Structures are given as structure tokens and as C-alpha cells.
Chains A and B, each alone.
Chain A
Amino acid sequence: MGAYILLRLISAIAVMAMVGGFVFLLLRLASGDPAAMIAGPMATQQTIDGIREQLGLNQPLPVQFAHWALGILSGDLGDSILAGLPVLKLISQRLEPTVSLSILTMILSAAAGVSFGIFAAWRAGGLVDRMLTAFSALGYSVPVFVVGYFLIYFFAIETRWLPVQGYVSVHNGVGPWFSHLILPTIALGVPYIAFIARITRASMLEVLSEDYMRTAAAKGASTYAMLFHHALKNAGAPILTVLGISFAYLIGGVVITETVFNIPGVGRLVVDAINNRDYPVIQGVLILVSGLYVLINLAIDIAYTLVDPRIRY
């Protein structure tokens, strides 16, 4: 397995190198000029040309790429064109909200989704199952921003129980941190709860119909033991896959949630960077996110072997 992990790490580096080259070219070939965005809508061409010169955007593309690639190899993602600050610093400033939101969402999604799925499978065909299935269909279909605005209206404007927007660092108190993340977590978590619940239900139903489950029931195993000791363990692999994939997709989905709830995370950083054609920031975030995707995939593969010892590499 050690050799497998090493091989995967080497391929991950190759993948990230390709991603880097692709992202660099894609941004340069796309329309848009950071100098024009900096200068403002009423600036003359002369002003814009001056800014382009100062930013080094007039240099040939291979030269720009070489500068950037060499920087990456030495751990420097470059400086933001707009903010003038190191990209790593900007990302690190925005990491805490995104990580907080992602982790809370995954905890909520996994806990609620798996519980709903198990419960629905246990009561398959009954009222509870139909209600949970309906919730799953609805939760997976309704866009995050609709859920977000709905939650804001009821829980922030009407009742004033929770804040509308913003983020408070955990260093400023766990209470304020948590209260600012409740609504975004629910809004972002709803589709994942629905998705995980559906997969869990299907997986559990399959396992529950196996012969060994009937044997366990015949031997007098309790419902708890049947569901959690026998069924869930064997239904775990597909659920784990879905959890992993959900976490990877979550990084993309977090952008909308951060916008709706005005959370200054990595998602908003990259959206602002795209709007302003801040190339170094876009490149830096994409490199880091692609690296994260690769690591998550690697972690899922390793987790398989832990959940199901029959899987070997």
C-alpha cells in the first residue's frame, strides 16, 4: 500500500502541473484585462497601457509563465494584482471561514443524511420513508441561494434570532462564530443531506435484503445491532464514496453560500478575482483546490481499505 500511495502522490504532482499550465493559458486566452479593471471605466487607453506596463502584463506569455512557475516551485504563489499582497496571505486570510463552513456542513450533512437514510430504509415504504424521500427530492432540487434567502428572511429578519450575514472568527468567541455559521451551514447542507440520505437509503435497503440479515434477525439480533452493526458496516463503502465526493463538490458549492451570506471565504476571493481578472489569485486558488481534490481522492481510496478490509492495493 505504501508503494501505491507514493505512486498516487507522484501522479498528483503531475496532475497539478498540468492544471497549472492549463489554468495559466486559459486565463490569458480569456477576454479581459486586469489593467482596465484597475483603471476604471472612464480611463483612457494611455492610462491602461501604463498600468499594463507596470504590472508586467506586456511581457511575452512564456516569460510570464516562467516567472509564475518558478515562484510556485519555491512556494511563492505571487502577489495579487489588485490588493498587492501575497496570494498565500490572501488565501490564508480567507481560509478559516471556508474551512469552518465546509467542516460544519460536512458534519451536519453526514450526521443528518446518514441518519435520514438509515431511518428511511428501516421504515421503507412507510410514511416516514415517503416524507424523507420527498425531502430528499426537494432538498436536492432547490438551489442553495433560494434556501439561503428563505432562512435569512425567517431567522434573521423576521425573528432576529440569527445574523443575516458576515463571519466572526472563532478567536472572537465560539458563540458568535457558531451563530454566524448556522444559517449558511443549513443552506449549504440541505442538498448534501438529501444526496447522502438517498444514497444511504438505497445502500441500506440493498444490504437489509441480504440473507445474512435475515439470519441475524432469526438469531434475535436487536434492531440497533442489525442496522448499525451488520447493515451499516456493509453499506458503508458507497456512503463513504459519496461523503468524499460531496466534500470535494462542497468546495465549489461554497462559493454561492459565501456570496449569499457574505462570508469572506476563499469562494468569494476567487469570484472577486475572476471579475477583476486578478490572475495570480485565480491561479493560486485553483492550484490549491486541485491539490485538495487530489488529496481527498487519495484519502477516500485509503479509507476504503479501512472500512472494507477485503479491498487491497
Chain B
Amino acid sequence: MRSAYSFEGKRDMTISRRDLIKAGMVAGTALSVPSILRAQAAPSAAQTVRIAGGNITNFDPYATTTYVTVDHGLAIYDTLFALDSKLAPQPQMVGKWGVSDDQKAYTFELRDGLGFNDGSPVTAADCVASIRRWFQTASGQLVKERAKDVSKKDDKTFTIVLKEPMGLLIDQLAASANYLLFVMREKDADRPPTEPVTTHIGSGPFKFNEALFRPGVSYVYDPNDKYVPRKEPPSGLSGGKIVRVERVIKEVISDAQTALAALQAGEIDLVSVPPANLFPMIESDPNLVLEDLHKSGDDYLLRMNCLQKPFDNVKARQAILHLVDQEAFLHIINPNPKYNRPITSLFGTNTPYTNDANIGWYKKGGNPERARQLFKEAGYAGEKIVVLQPTDWLPGSNAAQFLAAELKKIGINAELAPSDWAGLAARRSKKDAVEAGGWSIYPSSAVDLSFGDPLSTAWMNMDGKSYYGWLKNDEYEALRAKWADGTPEERKALARTMQQIWWDAVPSVFLGQSVTPIARRKTLTGLVSFPALLPMWNLQKS
């Protein structure tokens, strides 16, 4: 068939089939050119690691406690000190450090050759500014209160002078439970605390590829060729952070089933939080493996509003302590028992301060009769208990439903208040009675590692103002204030006393601990094991 478009006096514009095919080939080639050019410039797929992870909604690690942001911080920033695999602090950016005889003045000297990925050198001024920014966070608050002066001595040296000796200073500088002390450029760190840092300039092992950044879709990290790794082997967040692949891409895959299908098909290499109900499927796939990287996992808990009835009465709070059957709750959170264990210590299951003081309340299967009796002793008269149910967080949603059912079984007027986490997060800040839009109890979780740090872990205080629930206990707070001063052995003793008070006062109740392994293809190796976080250095892909 020939299409004729001949016009009098003009060139014959007949298009033959051959012309059409030629034109198609030219067009196809033209369309392919950009991808060919990109393919030549881009790292090889074989050395690109793809990770299915969460959405980063804030890039400033001093503005949020979400782990995806901390992971981002670990990639592009470095830290002065870092915890090793045994959770002991080790120097990282710091080369040498010392303390004065009176234990008040600490001097730190940076390692040689440290530089930011924009080409500028890391100086002591950057460290001082970063420490001051960290002071504005809950994690840095204690050191801020104890510090008399933080200043640079020269380009590589800075000092922290304390008002009183503080045995925990280095531990605090290395702490990884909430806000890590990442070193930024002075001009970034000097921004007002309420203004998030939006640049991505750090001295860490990776640099953030802003050209390929697609908010809510993917985050691309390339090796930082200016990074100077330590000589020691990697251990936890410390040691030599050597990047062994050409690129790491974090992809936001919001549907867990899709993420797993992509892992099975080899489109991604790692799923950071695979859903527990799909563990059997992963275990049956010869190309995949579940790996317990985080070891101690997440500790699930219930937080109670201690300002309103019935939980303004300690007996009612103790009733919840006795009501909870941790094994049953854990089963609905994660049906794989090998990843679950009960918790009895305020200081978690795997921290240096885990202990067994005052844990007589724990009984396998719970003790609903005792709970019923305690509610009666509390003078419970049928008041409505509003259980906040985070519908978009499956373990929390299930736990809330189960709790409401258990409360009803012992005659308590429990009512579920379903909402997404955003709704829960807003409602939990209300101190009003439930009739006025307040709340009674809600499920939450925290990484076990944070339980070893009662100073910067907000929910471990009892100051009556800082964290939802608002229980006040001066005796406990006085002990918490001593936490930073003693030796490790003294802190262990302190932990026992604090725990004694905690389980008498009961600001919160544990539901148990569940470890979430990562799911990876067997071709991806070299993952660094550390609670809650997912460092990207040392990864290898075969």
C-alpha cells in the first residue's frame, strides 16, 4: 500500500513501506540514544545494590528519630565516635583524645585527611558546630547541661570542658539510640535548630546523588572518593567503612508483597522489613535468606495516660501489667516464635543494664484474675478506656485490638479508636479526658538498643512533661540524673533501683520483643550487623 501526498509543482511525497520502516528505525535509534549514553555513564547493574526501604521524609538527622533518616545520615556523614558490635564506643573521626587529670577537660584531635564530599576539609570548627546542633536534641541535652565550654583549639583539635566530671561523656558522643552526633559543615550545623538541614554534604563513605533523587521514590548513594576509612575492620558502626559496590539505590516500595516479589525476581537485593507472615515463603526460596542483622529487635509496649482515669491510679496501671500475656501478644505481632521473646527488664533484653529487679509480676499466660482484682482495688467504675489503634501499623493495630478484647473479657469498658499513625500521633499529645478527645492507652515500639540509654530515650523518663503518659516520679528522676556520673558498674546498680521503681509505678507495660530479620538475595553479602540500623558500607554483590 502506498500513500500518495502529491501536490502540483511540489516534490512527490509518496511514503513507501520501506521508507516507513527506515523512519521507524531512525526514530527507535534516536529514542535509544539517551539510554545508551546513560548506560555508558552509569555504574554496572551487577555492582549496584538495590534495597527496598522506607520513605525518607526528613533528611536532617538532628530533626527526626526515624531510622531511615539515621541510615541516610550513616551513609553520608561520619561520627566522632561510634559504637562497635559490642556496643562499646570507639573513636571514628577522632584520631587521638585525652582527658585532663580532673576529668573535666576533654581534648579531641581529628584524623588526618578528613574531608567533606564538596571538597572542603573537615575542621574542628565543623565538629564544634555539629556538637552544638546535637545539643538541641534529646540525646545531646545532658551533655549540653554538663558542658561549660565547647571550642576549637586549632583546625584539627577541639575541647569539651565540663562543669563536673561525667563518666558517660564518650558513650554519649557515640550513642546511637536516638539522635547520632553526625558531623556536618559548620555552615549547615549553624542553622537554627528549627530549620532542617537540606544539603547533603558530609564526610561519610557515601555521597548522595542529588541528580537522581526522586522524593518518595528512590535515593541513590555513590561512593565518596574523598572518604578516608579507618584501618580497623568494620565492627558495628565503627571501624573501616569501605564501600565495595559502585552504587546503592534505596527504593521506596510501599507494598510488602510487591517488595518480596521484586526480591524473588532479582529486581532488588534486600528487603529491610519483610512482613512476618511471608517468612515461610522466603525460607522456601533457594535464592533468598532471612538474616537476623539487628539481633535484639524491637520491644513492643503499651503507654498509658497517667493523668486521666483509670490510669491515674497506679493499681489500674499494675492491672495492665498483670493482664498482658506477652506470648499471646507476640504471636499476633509475629507468628514465628523463633523471632520472639518476652521482656521483663526496663533496660531491654540485650543491653549492659538488663537486670531482673522487681519482675515478679511476669507470669507466662498473664494473670487476668489479678488484673480484675487490681482494677477493683483502683476503684474502677466502668469508665471508658480508649485504646488508640494505629491501623496503618499492623503489629500495633493487632495489639490494640487484642488488648481491647482482653480488657472486655475482665469486664472493662474498652473502646478502640482506630486511626492511622498520624492521627494517633496527634491524639496522644492531648492530656484531656477521653470524653474531650483524650486517650487512655496506645501501643508503640522502640528498638531494644535504646533501652540502654535512659537519658536520651524520651519514654524512659518520669518527669511528668516530656513524653506521652506524663507520669511524674521525683525519686526515679533523681536516680536518672545520676546516670551520667558513675562507672559502668555503678550504672548497673542504678539500673536495678530505677527498674524497681519503674515496675512499681508502671508508666508503660511491655508486650514482648520481636526481631525482624532482613530478607536478602544470597548474592548480597557483607552486611554490617547493628541494632535497628542498616549501614550500607561493606556490602558485596556477586
B265 in the interface, Cβ–Cβ < 8 Å? yes
Query: Chain B, interface size: which category?
Result: 35 or more
Residue of B nearest to A85 (CB): B215
Q: How many residues of A contact B (CB 8 A)?
A: 57
Indicate which residue in A42, A93, A157 contacts B458 across the interface (CB closer than 8 Å).
A42
Residue of B nearest to A55 (CB): B194
Inter-chain CA distance A171–B30, complex, in Å, is 10
B258/A41 in contact, CB under 8 A: no
Q: Mark A94-136, 1 if CB is under 8 A from B, else 0.
A: 0000000000000000000000000000000000000000000
B466/A277 in contact, CB under 8 A: no
With A36-B426, A268-B254 known to touch, is A43 a contact of B214 (CB < 8 Å)?
Answer: no
What is the distance, in angstroms, from B536's C-beta to the closest C-beta of chain A?
20
Indicate which residue in B258, B423, B446 contacts A31 across the interface (CB closer than 8 Å).
B423
B308 in the interface, Cβ–Cβ < 8 Å? no
A164 in the interface, Cβ–Cβ < 8 Å? yes
- With a CB–CB cut-off of 8 A, which chain A residues contact B137? 47
A48/B429 in contact, CB under 8 A: yes
Residue of A nearest to B194 (CB): A54
B216/A83 in contact, CB under 8 A: yes
- With a CB–CB cut-off of 8 A, which chain B residues contact A149? 257, 261
- Which positions 48-88 of chain A face chain B at CB distance < 8 Å? 48, 50-51, 53-54, 80, 82-85
With A171-B34, A173-B32, A259-B255 known to touch, is A38 a contact of B63 (CB < 8 Å)?
Answer: yes
A165/B262 in contact, CB under 8 A: yes
- With a CB–CB cut-off of 8 A, which chain A residues contact B426? 31-33, 36
B485 in the interface, Cβ–Cβ < 8 Å? no
B420 in the interface, Cβ–Cβ < 8 Å? yes
How would you classify the secondary structure of chain A's contact residues: helix, strand, loop or mixed? helix
- With a CB–CB cut-off of 8 A, which chain B residues contact A32? 419-420, 422-423, 425-426
B267/A163 in contact, CB under 8 A: yes
A260 in the interface, Cβ–Cβ < 8 Å? yes
A156 in the interface, Cβ–Cβ < 8 Å? yes
A93/B193 in contact, CB under 8 A: no
Indicate which residue in A37, A43, A93 contacts B422 across the interface (CB closer than 8 Å).
A37
B420/A166 in contact, CB under 8 A: no
With A39-B65, A164-B265 known to touch, is A82 a contact of B58 (CB < 8 Å)?
Answer: yes
A93/B35 in contact, CB under 8 A: no
What is the distance, in angstroms, from A29's C-beta to the closest C-beta of chain B?
12
B313 in the interface, Cβ–Cβ < 8 Å? no
What is the distance, in angstroms, from B322's C-beta to the closest C-beta of chain A?
26
Indicate which residue in B216, B265, B444 contacts A268 across the interface (CB closer than 8 Å).
B216
What is the distance, in angstroms, from A98's C-beta to the closest C-beta of chain B?
13
With A157-B261, A262-B262, A264-B216 known to touch, is A38 a contact of B65 (CB < 8 Å)?
Answer: no
Q: Mark B269-305, 1 if CB is under 8 A from A, else 0.
A: 0000000000000000000000000000000000000
Q: Mark A264-289, 1 if CB is under 8 A from B, else 0.
A: 10001101100111000000000000
B120 in the interface, Cβ–Cβ < 8 Å? no
B258/A262 in contact, CB under 8 A: yes
- With a CB–CB cut-off of 8 A, which chain A residues contact B425? 32-33, 36-37, 41
Indicate which residue in B31, B64, B422 contacts A174 across the interface (CB closer than 8 Å).
B31
B422/A33 in contact, CB under 8 A: yes
B159 in the interface, Cβ–Cβ < 8 Å? no
Q: Which of B58, B429, B466 is the most central at the interface, judged by chain A CB atoms within 10 Å of its CB?
A: B58
B459 in the interface, Cβ–Cβ < 8 Å? yes
B261/A43 in contact, CB under 8 A: no
A309 in the interface, Cβ–Cβ < 8 Å? no
B422/A275 in contact, CB under 8 A: yes
A275/B258 in contact, CB under 8 A: no
What is the distance, in angstroms, from A271's C-beta to the closest C-beta of chain B?
8
B265/A163 in contact, CB under 8 A: yes
Indicate which residue in A38, A271, A272 contacts B64 across the interface (CB closer than 8 Å).
A38
- Which positions 412-462 of chain B face chain A at CB distance < 8 Å? 419-423, 425-427, 429, 444-446, 450, 457-459
- With a CB–CB cut-off of 8 A, which chain B residues contact A153? 261
Complex A-B, nearest 3 residue pairs according to Cβ-Cβ distance, in ascending order: A36-B425, A32-B422, A40-B65
Taking Cβ atoms with an 8 Å cutoff, the residues of B that contact A are 28, 31-32, 34-35, 38, 55, 57-58, 63-66, 69, 137-138, 178, 193-196, 198, 214-218, 251, 253-255, 257-259, 261-262, 264-265, 267, 392, 419-423, 425-427, 429, 444-446, 450, 457-459, 465-468
What are 16 inter-chain pairs, A to B, with CB distance below 8 A? A32-B419, A32-B422, A33-B426, A36-B425, A38-B57, A41-B65, A43-B458, A44-B138, A51-B63, A85-B215, A153-B261, A174-B28, A259-B254, A262-B251, A269-B216, A271-B254
Taking Cβ atoms with an 8 Å cutoff, the residues of A that contact B are 30-34, 36-48, 50-51, 53-54, 80, 82-85, 90, 93, 149, 152-153, 156-157, 160, 163-166, 170-174, 176, 259-262, 264, 268-269, 271-272, 275-277
Contacts beyond the supplied A48-B429, A83-B57, A164-B258: 20 A-B pairs with Cβ under 8 Å: A37-B425, A38-B63, A39-B63, A39-B65, A41-B65, A41-B421, A42-B178, A42-B457, A42-B459, A43-B65, A44-B466, A47-B138, A51-B194, A82-B215, A93-B214, A164-B262, A164-B267, A264-B214, A269-B216, A275-B392
